[in-house]
Amino acid sequence: MSDIADRVKKIVVEHLGVEEDKVVENASFIDDLGADSLDTVELVMAFEEEFGIEIPDDAAENIQTFGDAVKFIKEAS
């Protein structure tokens, strides 16, 4: 697994308090990992902070799974 994916997974595990093996490619933050809408806002902020990027609101709305997040960050950084 890429370095980016590892770093994203670490953030997800820390913020949502979930087991690492639950954070798989198509795991939905809300449906599978117990996040609510505020949690997803905070996750996006944590991604921005970790990778030094800016994720516009319309792009953030499309980041619904762990895989979405890794894909977006790879393209942005």
Partner 1 sequence: MRRVVVTGLGLVTPLASGVEQSWSRLLAGQSGAGPITRFDPVNVITKYACEVPDGDGTDGTFNADDYMQPKERRKVDDFILYGIAAAQQAVEDAGWMPEDEAARERTGVMIGSGIGGLRSIEETTLIIRDKGVRRVSPFFIPGALINLISGQVGIRYGFKGPNHSVVTACSTGAHAIGDAARLIMFGDADVMVAGGAEAAICEIGIAGFNACKALSTKRADNPQAASRPYDVDRDGFVMGEGAGIVVLEEYEHAKARGAKIYAEVLGYGLSGDAHHITAPDEDGDGGFRAMKMALGHAGVDPSQVDYINAHGTSTMADTIELKAVERLLGDAAAKATMSSTKSATGHLLGAAGAIEGIFTILAIRDQVAPPTINLDNPAVETPLDLAPNKKVERQVKVALSNSFGFGGTNASVCFGAVR
Given the rule CB under 8 A, which of 4-12, 21-29, 33-41, 67-75 is the region that contacts partner 1? Answer: 33-41
Q: Could you report how far apart the first and last alpha carbons of the chain are, in Å?
A: 17
**Tokens for 8?**
């994203």
DSSP 35: -
Whether 57 sits among the annotated catalytic residues: the reply is no
> Is 50 an interacting residue with respect to partner 1 (CB under 8 A)?
no
Would you count residue 41 as binding partner 1 (CB under 8 A)?
yes
Name the residue nearer to partner 1 (CB basis): 16 or 76: 16
Q: 28 forms bridges with which residues in the sheet? A: 65
For partner 1 (CB under 8 A), the number of binding residues is 12
Q: Which of 40, 63, 36, 49 is nearest to 7 (CA)?
A: 49
Among 6, 24, 28, 45, binds partner 1 (CB under 8 A): 45
- What is the set of active-site residues? 36
